[in-house]
Amino acid sequence: MDAAETAFAKINLALHVRRREADGYHAIETLFVFAEDGDRLSLTSEPGLKLAGPFAVALTMGDNLVTRAAEGFVKLTGRPNESGFLLEKNLPVAAGLGGGSADAAAALRLLSARYGIDPGEPAVRDLAASLGADVPACLLSRPVRGEGRGDSLTPLDNVPAGQALLLVNPMRPLATGPVFAQWDGVDRGPLDRGDPIAAAKAGRNDLEPPAIAILPVIGEIVSLLGRQEGAILARMSGSGATCFALFEDDAARDKAAQAVAADHPDWWLLATRLR
C-alpha cells in the first residue's frame, strides 16, 4: 500500500432544478462544498478492489465506480493496470454525499499521481464527467458552483474552510432516480450568485420535498437540525437522505450532535468541518 486519498464527502448547500432536458437529464444549479472527512481509498500491490469499513457490506462489487474509473484511466492513457485498491467505506451508500462519485474521483487522483499526470487535464476531467455528473466536482473536492448536469463548474470564493458541519443520515438508502422522478417540474428560479453562504441561505434544495414524500424522516431531521442552537443553515444534501447543518462553531455542532444522538441512536452522524 503506497498511496492513499480521502474521498471527501460532497454536500450541496443548495440545489435548484431548473428543467428536465430532452435527453432525460435535469439542468441544475448547485453549490458544491466538501467535508474534511469521507471514504478512504488506497492503492495496493494486489489487483482488484477490496472493501473495508462500516458500510462495505452495502456495496456491490460488480459495477463499482472505482473499478470503472480505473478501467477508463487505462483506456485513456494506455498505462497497464498494475495496481489494485482498498476502499474503506466510511460514508453511507445512496446518501446524497456523492460517495461513489468521490471514490471514483479519488481513484483518478491516485492514478494520475502515480503516472505523473495532472488530474486537471481536460482528458481526465472528461473521463470524470463520463463516470457521473458529480465526479468532476469531486475530482476537485473544493467549493464550486455546478451548472448544466452539475458538471459545468465555476470556483467559489468566500466559503469558510473549517466551518463546523454536522451530517445526519437516518440509515435509510434513497436512490437518486425516484427522487428526480417525483420532482414536480416547476422552475422556482435561479440560484443567487455572489457570496456562497448568503446564496445558500436564500436558496433551496428542490429535491427535498420529493425526497420527504418518499422518506418523511428527512423532514424530521432537517427540522431538528434547524432548531439546534448555533445552526446557521440546515438542509438535505443532494437527493438525500443525508441532511446537514452548518454551525457557528465546533462547540455548537458538538452539543447538537450529542442531542441528536441521544434522541436517535439509530441514526448515523458525522461531526466534521468544511474543507
Residue that wins the pLDDT comparison between 173 and 164: 164
* Same-domain status, 148 and 218: no
How far is C-alpha 245 from the chain's CA centre?
15
Query: Domain range holding 59?
Result: 3-155
Does position 216 have pLDDT exceeding 80, yes or no? Answer: yes
Instruction: Verify whether residue 50 is a known catalytic residue.
Output: no
Q: Looking at the structure, do residues 182 and 263 belong to the same domain, yes or no?
A: yes
Task: Answer yes or no: do 124 and 11 share one domain.
Answer: yes
- 90 shares its domain with 139: yes
Q: Range with the lowest mean pLDDT among 58-67, 106-115, 128-137, 176-185? A: 58-67
The verdict on 65 and 137 lying in the same domain is: yes
269/177 same-domain check: yes
Active site (annotated) includes residue 206: no
Domain stops at, among 138, 155, 172: 155
219 against 94, higher pLDDT: 219
According to the model, what pLDDT value does residue 22 have? 85
The model's confidence at residue 18, banded by pLDDT at 50, 70 and 90, is very high
Beta strand extents in 21-106 (DSSP E only): 26-44, 48-52, 84-88
For the chain, what percent of residues have pLDDT higher than 90?
A: 91
In the prediction, which pLDDT does 58 show?
83
Same domain, 117 and 151: yes
Instruction: Calculate the average pLDDT of the chain.
Output: 95
Q: So what's the pLDDT on residue 60?
A: 65
Q: From residue 273, give the alpha-carbon distance in Å to each of 98, 202, 210, 222, 268.
A: 16, 21, 28, 18, 16
Q: DSSP 3-state helix, strand, coil percentages of the chain (rounded to 5)? A: 35, 30, 35
Instruction: Report pLDDT for 83.
Output: 83
Which cell goes with 48?
A: 482488484
Q: Calculate what percentage of the chain has a pLDDT beyond 70.
A: 98
**73-101 confidence digits (pLDDT tens):** 999 999 887 889 999 999 999 899 999 99
Of 10, 37, 39, 89, which residue is the catalytic one?
10
The CATH number of residue 196's host domain is 3.30.70.890
The bridge status of strand 144-147 relative to strand 48-52 is: unpaired
Sheet-wide strand order for 164-169 = 231-236, 243-247, 164-169, 268-273
Residue 25: is its pLDDT beyond 90?
no
pLDDT of residue 63: 63
DSSP β-bridge partners for residue 87:
41, 51
My answer on whether 218 and 261 are in the same domain is: yes
Same-domain pairing of 83 and 102: yes
Looking at 132, 155, 178, which one is the last position of a domain?
155
| Number of domains the chain contains | 2
The number of helix segments (H) and strand segments (E) in the chain equals: 9, 10
CATH for 124? 3.30.230.10
Are 83 and 211 found together in one domain? no
CA dist 145 and 152 (Å) reads 8
> Tell me, what DSSP letter sits at residue 65?
H
Grid cell in block for residue 108: 483518478
**Across the strands, what pairs with 10?**
34
Residue 219 has pLDDT above 70, yes or no: yes
Residue where one domain finishes, among candidates 108, 130, 155: 155
- Tell me which of 37, 103, 134, 151 is the catalytic residue: 134
**pLDDT over 80 at 2, yes or no:** no
Looking at the structure, do residues 91 and 206 belong to the same domain, yes or no? no
Query: Has residue 102 got a pLDDT over 80?
Result: yes
Which band of pLDDT confidence, cut at 50, 70 and 90, is reported for residue 62? low
* Phi, psi dihedral angles at 56 (to 5 degrees): -60, -35
The pLDDT value recorded for residue 79 is 83
Q: What's residue 89's pLDDT?
A: 96
Same domain for 7 and 139, yes or no, is: yes
Q: Which string of DSSP letters, residue by residue, matches 186-230?
A: ----PPP-SSHHHHHHH--BTTHHHHHHH-THHHHHHHHHHTSTT
pLDDT digits (tens, 9 = 90+) for 235-262: 999 999 999 999 999 999 999 999 999 9
Whether 4 has a pLDDT exceeding 90, the answer reads yes
